[in-house]
Structure formats: C-alpha cells, structure tokens
Amino acid sequence: MSGADTQVRHGNDEAVDVSDPRLSRFDLVREGARRDGVEIVHYAPRFPVPGTKAEKRVERTIALFFMLTGLFATAFVVIFVAWHWEWHPGNNAGSWFTPLLGVSLALMLFCVGAAIIVFAKKLLPEEVAVQERHDGASPRDEQVLTGATLLNMADEAGLGRRPLLKGAIALGLAPVAAVPLVALGGMIDDPHDEDMYHKTGFDPEANGGNKVRLMRENLTPVRPEEISAGGQITVFPAIPHGATNQHADSPTLLIHLRQTDADELRRNLGHVPINEGDMYGNYVAYSKICTHAGCPASLYEQQTNRLLCPCHQSQFSITDNARPVFGPATRRLPMLPLEVDSEGFFVAKSDFEVPIGPGFWERA
Amino acid sequence: MSWKLGRRRRAVRPDDAVPAFTPPGRWRRRLEATVRLIAALTIVGGLYAALAPGVSQAEDTPPLSADAVQGKQLYETTCISCHGPNAQGVENRGPSLIGAGSAAVEFQVGTGRMPMARQEAQAQKKPPHYSWEQAAQIGAYIQELGGGPTLPKGQKLRATDEKAISRGGELYRINCSACHGFGLGGGALSSGKYAPSLNDASDREIYAAMLTGPQNMPVFGDAQLTPEEKLAVIGYIQSLKANKDPGGFGMKRFGPVSEGLMIFLVGMVALVFATLWIAGKS
C-alpha cells in the first residue's frame, strides 16, 4: 500500500509538508505512522522527570539481566569447550555435559528475553496507537489492474507463438518430475513377488537344498536339551546374514512346552492340518512376526501359554496353534516344522508353510 | 535225559557195596530241589518282611539339616495352608513344590511375593514377610524334600568388566526386553498380569528369577543361559541403573517419542501461558 494511496484514502486530515523545518522529529514519526494508517493517540514517557530513583532501579534491573545473559552465554561456551563430554558407564562428569549445556542455554535465553521485556514495558514511553484495517476484498480497480499485469507477463513470454520453447520446457521439466517419483517408487515392493512374501531364511532352496539349522543371535546352533521346559529362545536361520535385517522376516520363537501343555497342543494340531507333524517332542516354533502389524510377538507367558504382541496387545494361544484369542490380529502365527539333524541340532524341515507376518490382499 | 538216568540206575544197581556213592533217586532229588526253593523263598521273603518297614520309615524322616529344620517350622506356620503338608500342593490353592528348588523359594519368599495376600492374577512384590535368611531356610527344606535348582553362594552375582556387560546387553535385548522393557520399567501382560520393573531388583533376585521362571516368566536354565551369561545380564541391568541419563530428565526411559511429546505438550502450554501473562501485564 503506497503512501499516496493511504493519503487518498485517509485524506480527511490536512496533508503535512515534510520539508517544513518547524516539524520536530517526533512530528515526522507521527506523520509517518499516520501515512501507514496508524494513529498515535497517546504518547507519554514512563519517567517524566529524568534521573529519578525509580528510573535508576529499572535501569539496574535491565542491566542485570543483560549481564546475566552474557554470563550464561559464556558459561555455555566454556562448558562446550572445556567440560568432559565423553560418555562413560556410571554417574560421572560426562553424564552432566548435555544437561549443563541445556541449563546454561535456557538461562541465557530467559535472561535476554527478560531484559528486552522489562526494557520495553518499564523504560520505553507509554504509547497507545490505533491502526485501521482495510475491508476483506481488494477494490475492483486493483483486481482489474492485477489481472492485466499477470496476463501481460504471459504475453511477454510469448509461448503461444514460440512452439520450440514450449516443447523444450515440457521435455526438460518432465524428467525433473521423475526424480522424486523414482526415489519414492523404489520403496514400494512388488506384492506379487513370491520370494518376498512366501519365503523366509528357513527356505532350504536358498541353502543349496540343505535343511536350514536354527541358530541363536550369536550364530551358535541349538540343541533340544539347551532349552529349559517352560523356556523359550529366539532363533534365526543359520545362513549367512541370517540374524541380520537381510532376513528380518525370519526370527522365530522356539518354545519348550511342559509335558501337559505339549500334550494339549498335540491334540489340537489337527485343528490346522498344515501344522501336523511340525512339533519335535515337546518343542514348537512359531514365527515371531505378529500377523497384525509385524511387531515381534514374543511376550511368552509360560503358565497361561500365551504369546503377546506389545504393540496392539494381540494374544495368541500357544497350545492351540497360536490361535489369536485377543486383540486385533486375525490370523494364527505360522508354525515352523521342526526336526533334529544327525548331529543333534534343530533344523527346519521346510520353510514356513504359510506366509509370515501381516495379512495381505491376496489371502483370505 | 531219561535215557542217561535210566542207564546209570542200571549200572549202579548190581553193586550195593559202596552206598556212599549211590546217586539219589529221581524222586528224592526232585523233593530236595523243592525244599531248597521253598527255604530260599522263605528266607528272602522273611528278610524283606523284616527289613522293608524299616526302609520306608527311613525315607519318611531323612535327617534334615539344621537350616531345613528351621525352614520346616516356618513352612508349617505359613506355607502349609496352600502348598499342603510335605509341599505336595493343594488343589485350586497352591501348586506342588516338589522339584521347585531352593532358588524358587528364595525368590518368591525373599521378595515378599509369597506368602500371597490373596488369590489374584499375579503375586505382587511387597515388603517381605520373612527375611532372605528365613527364605533360604524354607528353601533348604523344600530343596531337601524334592530337589530343584539352587542359587550360587554370595550376594554380588554380577559381571563387572565392560565386555561382559556389553554381551549382557545383547542377551537382555533379545531375551528380556520384550516384557521388561528397554529401560527396565516392566510392562503389561494379559489379563491383569504384568512383567515387574527391574529397578529395585537385586542381583540375587534377578538370578533366581532367570533360573526358575517365577509365575509367567519363561525359565532360563543353565543350559540355555550359562551362569556366566546370567552374570553378564545382571551386570548389564545393574550398570543401566547406575548410569545417569545423559540427556537430563529421562522420564523413566520411555523413549524419544514420549520425550518429544512431553516437550511439545508441556513446553507449548507453558509458552502460551507465559505469553498470556506477559501480555496481561501491559
């Protein structure tokens, strides 16, 4: 909004000649504000008599806040440079590095803010000013003028009569749009990829046709007698990178059931025909990936024989083929077919017989 | 056989001058064998009858150690109402303790979980009714009654070198963190049960819990987590407790998301009210 425009709109006052030498500096300030549509209606110093005790006290307060600001800023720098910053176990100087930085920074910012606020509210003159607001829509004239300006820009570019330029811009900018597309598109996996969704690290085909052993996180194979009755262990496929994110779909919970619980599960195996023959003695192995959202469903309750998922509280009944009994999961945890090889280590008879993890759209 | 016997009889008969060498007759030998058999059976049976009651009496009253005698007295004033005489359990009240071992008793009684105040989803930790020494005495009684896992001697059951603690961290994250949480805070299980916080658990309590799998906690026997690995896990847990949160107030280590939320909610509200207060003073 130009000054002239304002003057036209608020032209009820007499125009002030700014070159008039009789005008004080404050008169010019008031005129400048007036031309921007701001009317100063009250203006008075906080301390009409300079140098009073009260004024000095306010000055000292502000000065104190600025000094403290400098002190805390210096403290921040000194701590940052000189404090022992490395982390060591236990409670030592290094554990206080970050808290001290935070405290000194916070105090510094608080002091500089307090100084400015006290300055503005206690020392600067009291002022009440009124600004008029213009109505919602722009005047009709301005709308016409702005429209003409925009159309004129299009005319100046003249793309309508320069087809070469038009084509070049289209061809040049289309690949630019492809840059984010490929970057994001690469994150989408093919939902029809058999390997991706139907095979895990326990697939013997990926192991040269040999059955895959079960191993711990420290790469040692597992013997049946190593798991206590009423105990569980997280196992991974004993293949290269089997316990890494490369086979993030393979972690499996190997459980040694107590005799009565194992008997109950054996009776129930018929409920899910594909699970029959998958137990080894009193041992059973379920995929650790929850069928609801893929969290590790590994909270094992050894007396109530439930597996819990911590994310959304799905619960699976271990003695009934990991049937979901509570929570949002709707599908059983897949069972890994177990046996023991000639050296006495657990192996997977085959891969999981149903896809692991959350349901996807091809599956009922 | 009959041919041989018949032949000998014929050969002996003509010469009666040497009666000492006369083989016993067929019927006589059979009679002698029968008598010997009956005599042997009578002796064995009689010995058994004489000795067997004594053997069974000896089994009923094995010589209990001094601790176990103390423990038996404690057992019979408190535990017996749910676990029954001779720790055989009472239907719908308390399980049999045969084979539970002293480790389980020390954990349950020493942490105040037993005796239970009432039947509920899970026995809770509370100020213990018996001291850990008394718990050990009851444990000795149960141990001598039915055997089971026992705790190693000593109170300080933890690894202290950094390498072992680091390995303990790996083991903690894969075996314990699902229920007890990354920051030892514990968490909810099904139907009112929960994994307790480890923040005020002693070395001995953690060791006993791993060894015996109290309540719904899985058992981590010595073949699954070796004693050294158990000490490493405990070393990690205790070092985690001793470590100060390097970022300041850690909010029980619920993690960065909750911290961010708290900073946003509390910080924003504080800033809004500070702004209102400053503006209100004008």
Q: Is residue B219 part of a domain?
A: yes
A24 contact partners, CB below 8 Å, separation of at least 6: none
CB–CB of B221 and A315 under 8 A?
no
**Longest distance between any two alpha carbons in chain A, whole Å:** 111
A166 burial level (CB within 10 Å; 0-12, 13-18, 19+): middle
Q: Are residues A247 and A299 in the same domain?
A: yes
Query: What local confidence, expressed as pLDDT, does residue A11 receive?
Result: 45
Look up the domain containing A275 and give its range.
Answer: 195-348
Residues A322 and A223 in one domain: yes
Same domain, B131 and B204: no
Q: Nearest chain A Cα to B176, which residue? A: A299
Torsion over CA: B146, B149, B154, B155 (sign):
negative
Kindly state the average pLDDT of the residues A215-227: 93
Residue A356: is its pLDDT beyond 70? Answer: yes
Q: Running DSSP on this structure, what letter comes out for residue A289?
A: B
Q: B170 vs A298: CB contact, 8 Å cut-off?
A: no
Which chain B residues are closer than 8 Å to A99 by Cβ? Answer: 247-248
Q: How far apart are CA A171 and CA B59, in angstroms?
A: 97
pLDDT of residue A136: 79
Contacts of A300 in chain B (CB under 8 A): 218
pLDDT-based confidence at residue A193 (cuts at 50, 70, 90): confident
What residues of chain B score a pLDDT lower than 70?
1-24, 49-62, 282
The single-letter DSSP state of residue A332 is P
Q: Kindly identify which residue of chain B lies nearest to residue A116, measuring between CA atoms.
A: B278
- Same domain membership, residue A228 and residue A109: no
**Cβ atoms of B194 and B136 closer than 8 Å:** no
Decide which of B90, B122, B146 is a domain's last residue: B146
Is B121 contained in some domain?
yes
Cβ–Cβ under 8 Å, residues A253 and A285 = yes
Distance from B142 to chain A by nearest Cα, in Å? 20
Nearest residue, CB atoms, B216 vs list A231, A298, A301 = A301
Residue of B nearest to A315 (CA): B190
Mean pLDDT of the residues in chain A: 89
- Does A187 fall in a domain? no
Do B139 and B169 lie in one domain? The reply is no
Q: Best mutation site among A85, A110, A298, A303 for testing chain B: the one with the most B CBs within 10 Å?
A: A303
**Position A316: which residue type?**
F
Q: How far is A255 from chain B (nearest CA, A)?
A: 9
Instruction: Identify whether residues A209 and A319 lie together within a single domain.
Output: yes
Looking from the CA of A300 toward its CB, the CA atoms found within 13 Å total: 30
Residue B216: what residue type? N
Q: What is the pLDDT of residue A304?
A: 92
| Structural domain harbouring B233 | 162-244
Q: Look at B248 and A102 and tell me if their CB atoms are within 8 Å.
A: yes
pLDDT given at position B23: 67
Number of C-beta neighbours around residue A70 at 10 A: 12
Residues of B in contact with A315 (CB under 8 A): 190
Q: Which residues of B touch A230 (CB under 8 A)?
A: 213, 218-219
DSSP A188-235: S--TT-HHHHH--TT-GGGGTTPPPBEE-TTS-B--GGGSPTTEEEEE
pLDDT, tens only, A59-84:
999 999 999 999 999 999 999 999 98
Type of residue numbered B260: G
Structure token pair of residue B56: 């069974």
- Same domain membership, residue A310 and residue A282: yes
State whether A90 and A21 are in the same domain: no
Residues A79 and A29 placed together within one structural domain of the fold? no
A343, A202: one domain: yes
Three-state DSSP class for residue B194: strand
Question: Is residue A188 situated within a structural domain?
Answer: no
Q: What CATH number did the domain enclosing A271 receive?
A: 2.102.10.10
Q: Do B247 and A98 touch (CB under 8 A)?
A: yes
Residue A9's pLDDT is 44
* B62-69 LR contacts (CB < 8 Å, sep 24+): B62/B144, B64/B141, B64/B144, B65/B140, B65/B144, B67/B136, B67/B137, B67/B140, B67/B141, B68/B137, B68/B140, B68/B141, B68/B143, B68/B144, B69/B141
Residue B250 lies in a domain: no
Of A173-187, A281-295, B15-29, B230-244, give the lowest mean pLDDT range. B15-29
Say what the pLDDT of residue B1 is.
44
pLDDT at site A3: 40
What backbone phi and psi angles, to 5 degrees, belong to A233? Answer: -150, 145
Whether A142 is covered by a domain: the verdict is: no
Please give the tally of structural domains in chain A: 3
Residue A341 included in any domain? yes
How confident is the model at residue A59, as a pLDDT?
A: 95
Of B188, B218, B282, the CB nearest to A302: B218
User: Are the beta carbons of A346 and A338 closer than 8 angstroms?
Assistant: yes
Instruction: Flag whether the pTM goes above 0.90.
Output: no
- The complex scores an ipTM of 0.71
Within-domain flag for B194: yes
pLDDT exceeds cutoff 70 at A156: yes
Are B237 and B169 found together in one domain? yes
Residue of B nearest to A251 (CA): B174
Please tell me the total count of domains within chain B: 2
Average pLDDT over residues A185-199: 76
Could you tell me the end-to-end alpha-carbon distance of chain A, in angstroms, rounded to an integer?
A: 65
A215 and A337 inside one domain: yes
Q: Residue B6 has what pLDDT?
A: 46
The minimal CB distance from B246 to the residues A95, A229, A298 is found for: A95
Domain end residue (candidates: B92, B112, B146): B146
d(CA A116, CA A123) in angstroms, rounded, equals 10
In this predicted structure, the answer to whether residue A339 has a pLDDT above a threshold of 60 is yes
Tell me if A89 and B193 make a contact (CB, 8 A cut-off). Answer: no
**Is residue B72 located within the same domain as residue B126?**
yes
Q: Cβ(A65)–Cβ(A115) under 8 Å?
A: yes
A9 and A124, same domain (yes or no) = no
* Separation between Cα atoms, residue B35 and residue B209, nearest integer Å: 64
Tokens of A294: 């893929």
CA quadruple B239, B242, B244, B250: dihedral, nearest 10: 90
**Biggest alpha carbon distance in chain B?**
152
Is the pLDDT score of A363 beyond 90? no
Same domain? B131 vs B167: no
Q: What is the model's pLDDT at position B52?
A: 61
- Answer yes or no: do B238 and B172 share one domain: yes
- Position A362 in a domain: no
CA distance B80 to chain A (A): 22
Instruction: Say if residue A201 is in the same domain as residue A279.
Output: yes
Give the tens place of pLDDT for each residue, A4-21: 444 444 444 567 888 888
What's the CATH number where B200 sits? 1.10.760.10
Per-residue model confidence (pLDDT) at position A269: 93
Please indicate, yes or no, whether residues A95 and A20 belong to a single structural domain of this protein: no
Q: Do A99 and B247 touch (CB under 8 A)?
A: yes
Interface of A with B (CB under 8 A): 87, 89-91, 94-99, 102, 117, 121, 217-218, 225-234, 296, 298-304, 306, 308, 310, 313, 315, 326
CB B74 within 8 A of CB B138: yes
